[in-house]
Chain A
Amino acid sequence: MNDRTRPDLLAPRAEKPGAPADARTATGYIGLSVPRAGARRLLQGRGTYTDDLKLPRLAHVVFFRSPYAHARIRKLDLTTAARQPGVIAAFDGRAIAEYCTPWVGVLAHLKGIKSPPQHAVAIERACWQGEAVAAIVAESRAQGEDALAHVEAEWEELPVVTDMEDALSNRSVIHPELGDNICFKRDFVTEGFEDAFAKADLVVEETYSFGRHTGVTLEGRAILADYNAGEHSLTVYQATQAPHMMQDIFSRHLNIPEANVRVICKDVGGSYGIKVHVYPDEMATAAISVMLRRPVKFLADRLESFLTDIHAREHKAKVRLACTKDGKIIGFDLDDLTGIGPYSVYPRTSGIEGNQVVNLTGGPYAHKNYRARLNVVFTNKNVTCQYRAVGHPIAVAITEGIVDLAAQKLGIDPAEFRRRNLIADDAYPYTFPSGLKFEQLSHHQCLDKLLALMDYQGLRAEQKRLREKKIYRGIGLAAMIEVTNPSPAFYGVGGARISAQDGATVRLEPTGMVTCLVSVTEQGQGTEGIFQQICATAVGVSIDKVRVITGDTGTTPYGGGTWASRGAGIGGEALLQAGKALRANILELAAAALSIDKNALDVSTDAVCDKATGETKMPLAEVGRIGYFRPDTLPLKFQAELTVTRHYTPREYGFTFTNGIQASYVELDTDTGFVKLLKHWVVEDCGTVINPMLVDEQIRGGVVQGIGGAMLEECLYSPEGQLLNGSLADYLVPMSGDTPDIEIAHVCTPTRQSELGAKGVGEAGTAGAPGAVMNAINDALAPLGARVNVQPFTPERILRALGKV
């Protein structure tokens, strides 16, 4: 069973980064695996996560949550609860609503999307188990929880809709005022589609289902809101990916001038999309801080996290693929259904995930015909929204699953079938039938590199050999495209006040140090590390001379933050341009001070030097000294500008698409239905690689989250809408004992839209892994005449496919 010890599968420990802090290349620090400086304090237990903060007179809020999936609140009496020891106040939804206006999670460019107004604390009715209906504020969290037992509530249970198809039938409508349970619908068809499918030699069809899962950030959602009545100001310490978005939202819904709202994001214990949404309990916490005029903290504990952190990925997708008998794909046909809970999440909406599935299905392949139907329906479960790789794991799995099925029917090797159909590397720019435009992708280079990396032919031979011994191994491939660096086409055009641009300010300090402030946040992905590399490179200083500040609307330029694999590509470009501008300004000052032509000067190794000889002309500390303390020594008309801000927005393409391909190698235990993941490979093209180690680690972490979805993770609900596995003991996430080693290689096609050339990479692993694992399992099952298409692939499902139970 256990083959980790087999030499050919045993990955050598990854090469240690060959880049100590003093290493540099001709292009500065770009492309070097520099360990990130900010990790040191985390390694010493000296991070500052939101829950580590304490303020004077801090109060703690806990929420009384609906025990029912759908119920009218007949009576809610908080008087006894309010009298419990340590309790400061108790509020129902109406009280909170006086300070916090409701919201509606729709976007104008998702035509027809609808959702009812949502309150921070539900007022008349709870629509999912776990929805907050009252808030108790106490001196300690424990005392608040003690008081929850004294909330007197009476409920009238309402009909519950948990099944997506049931919701689609509108048998029972969750929000009668909306008319039906359809949140969003999209129908799309290319011209000549019917004809193309009718003429196809082969049409294969399969329906794939995906379990709901959730992000399980190790640090739960966390917010500390501090309203100061004297200033009518609100300072919010929040574990968030988008501080400026939250600043705008707190301002508008709490009616505080935006300039008086400051959002500070310290260390964040994992986000993956979970912490980029507006959560009712967090909005209530901010409102309560205003109401009580004191700091209030809320932490979603693990049990609350499962009930209220956004879920994702609950899809059922029927897909058809048409092809010729010699293996040329003609087109794809998709019918996708997804259940999103009772509200479309604000402000990004819960329509985006399904929309992405429509946009991306069939994406790597050169075909002209595409039809897609999407139904996004309300259900009485927790809300769903954007979680790492948004829609990609679905689109990739169904595309790659049906591609493998077609290859199998035609008797063509899956790698060869892909080679015949992947969009040619010289076909760009390319417009995909769904309307998306690809600037430049490298599917064939990636495929070739992957097959070599994994020794595809060798593995196939081994697989064949072992099958004779009744050892069933499977090899699965999954090619993919991925949305990164989104332009305003993603949210801004739909009316959301979510910035697609980012800004960077770079300042030369009097000591010659460089401080940069960037609107992208650090969530652990290494943003601050690569910003150090970019800034040091752009300005011409050593990396240890650079300090990076992020995550504070009070100090950084305005910007979008961390989501949609945009931080490096957008924030990084803004910083590169800011750094270059600062370098130019430094040269201007030095030229003025030294009376030398600035074109003869350069900045290198923390000093202004002679461009031709490299001779040091003026250390940057001297530039700083003159600029700040002795500008009297400079020419009268010269004003030093040692702080520079630049912004960047990608606009030429709606998205900067990346591509890649993954492979999974598994062994199936046909007696138990257990699958052992032996190895995983990824070849990814994310353009310019700023820090190879960080990129690879992003991919590895992403792959394992994808594996979690494929193998373990699913939020299980009873027909009554009760979450059945809302603890870490029952909701299974991958642990070290059950994950494979992951080998990674790159193809590098920089985007020409920016000078940096970086595309996003943070979601790539998650996007492709479930499809690769599914295909590997089905490859192992194939000789037994079995197939699985419902994720996660539990022993139960595999044994049933095998006919063993």
Chain B
Amino acid sequence: MKAAPFAYAKPGSLREAFALLERHGDRAKLLAGGQSLIAALNMRLATPSILVDLTAIPGIDGIQLRGDHLAIGALVRHREIERSELVAKHAPLLSQAAPHIAHVAIRNAGTIGGSLAMADPAAEWPACCVALEAHIVAASPKGERRIPATKFFKSLFTTALAPREIITAVEVPVAGANTRSAFLELVRRRGDYAIVGLAAHTQLERGALTRLRLVYLGVGDAPVSAAGAMEKLEGKRATPEAIAAAQAALEQDLSPAADLTHSAATKLHLARVLLGRALAALVT
């Protein structure tokens, strides 16, 4: 299938981009890496009247260490994150998650900003950003604001972005000496969207899990923080009893919908399995 017709613009600045969004409103779609959008265009699932290509806008790419956080530009490709030494050192969860995103040819093209804006609940970056308590930097004609990732993902393909806002970067707190992270997915085939995935992040204080974040992907309309499970484990060692209690708590935390081949019960079961495996990874 071929895409329906649309116009195309490649603004050279955020200001130009805002003007285009102002002019075309909802009929405009922002194009970054295009790895989800162009597939949707080709299937005529998306039929915008204009694409606004953000890739010529200066200043919204690159990975930089800025004090206590790592700033990752919206246009940074998945593959750059995967191979970045800065990321490996300061945000290892992202390094762990990156190889799970599709395949190299797609990681060479897709961007973190695009993935966050797309807000696919089965995608890796949204869950990671929530687990890391990252901030998403969004620009609009009114200026710039920092939106906590925990408040950014509203529902299926829906974010806290205002209509004319554009993601320019994501800011991730840098990892400390005791930071531990794990990223796990269950996929039928490598690179597929996960049946269930888990981004786990903690500060390990003398063997105890503190500031533990357990964020699931693929089990809801948005990344899901497993609040009950986190509470059961906070400040504790990952003993079999604590793990079992946390796994039990997932019943309340998650209400996954069935997918084509997995029932809700199976997804919940798999989420529990991942929890056990993630905790084992965090403490070893």
Contacts and interface: CB of A to CB of B under 8 A. Distances in A.
A touches B in complex, CB < 8 A = yes
A671 B195 CA distance: 14
A708 to B, nearest CB: 11
- Please tell me the size bucket of the interface on A: 20 to 34
B262 A795 contact: yes
Contacts, number: 63
Contact of A737 (B190, B193, B195, B260): B190
A142 interface: yes
A805 B273 contact: no
Interface in B254-284: 260-263, 265-266, 269-270, 273
B280 to A, nearest CB: 12
Interface residues of B, number: 24
A113 interface: no
A448 to B, nearest CB: 36
A548 B269 CA distance: 58
A796 B262 CA distance: 6
The winner among B2, B190, B263 for most chain A CB atoms within 10 A is B2
Per DSSP, chain B at the interface is loop
B279 to A, nearest CB: 14
B2 A796 contact: no
B43 to A, nearest CB: 7
A671 B189 CA distance: 17
Interface stretch (A170-178, A329-337, A724-732): A724-732
A338 to B, nearest CB: 22
A738 interface: yes
Contacts of A729: 193
B104 interface: no
B5 interface: yes
Contacts of B2: 141-142, 145
Given A142-B2, A146-B4, A796 B44 contact: no
Nearest to B1: A301
A303 B2 CA distance: 11
A653 to B, nearest CB: 42
Given A301-B1, A732-B192, A674 B269 contact: no
Nearest to A800: B266
Nearest to B186: A672
A145 B44 contact: yes
Given A672-B186, A674-B186, A799-B269, A805 B1 contact: no
B266 A795 contact: yes
Contact of B189 (A145, A737, A805): A737
Contact of B269 (A714, A716, A738, A805): A805
A145 B1 contact: yes
Given A672-B270, A799-B269, A735 B189 contact: yes
A794 interface: yes
A716 B190 contact: no
A804 interface: yes
A735 B190 CA distance: 8
Contacts of A725: 260
B191 interface: yes
A712 interface: yes
Nearest to A737: B190
A560 B182 CA distance: 58
Given A141-B2, A146-B5, A799-B266, A672 B261 contact: no
B248 interface: no
B142 interface: no
A673 B192 CA distance: 17
Contacts of B38: none
Contact of B188 (A142, A301, A732, A799): A732
Interface in A146-163: 146
Interface in A375-424: none
A672 B188 CA distance: 11
Given A141-B2, A794-B261, A732 B269 contact: no
A142 B42 CA distance: 10
Interface in A105-144: 141-142
Contacts of B263: 796, 805
B244 to A, nearest CB: 14
Interface string B174-200: 000000000000101111110100000
Contacts of A800: 266
Contact of A724 (B5, B190, B192, B260): B260
A732 B188 CA distance: 8
B3 interface: yes
B48 to A, nearest CB: 15
A750 B164 CA distance: 73
The winner among A301, A732, A800, A805 for most chain B CB atoms within 10 A is A805
Interface string A697-735: 000000000000000101010000000110101101011
Nearest to B258: A796
Contacts of A672: 186, 270, 273
Given A671-B273, A672-B273, 19 more contacts: A142-B5, A672-B186, A674-B186, A716-B260, A725-B260, A732-B189, A732-B192, A734-B189, A737-B189, A737-B190, A795-B186, A795-B188, A796-B261, A796-B266, A799-B266, A799-B269, A805-B265, A805-B266, A805-B269
7 contacts: A145-B4, A672-B186, A735-B190, A737-B190, A737-B191, A796-B261, A796-B263
List 7 tightest A-B contacts by C-beta distance, closest first: A737-B190, A142-B2, A805-B265, A671-B273, A805-B269, A805-B266, A794-B261
Interface of B: 1-5, 43-44, 186, 188-193, 195, 260-263, 265-266, 269-270, 273
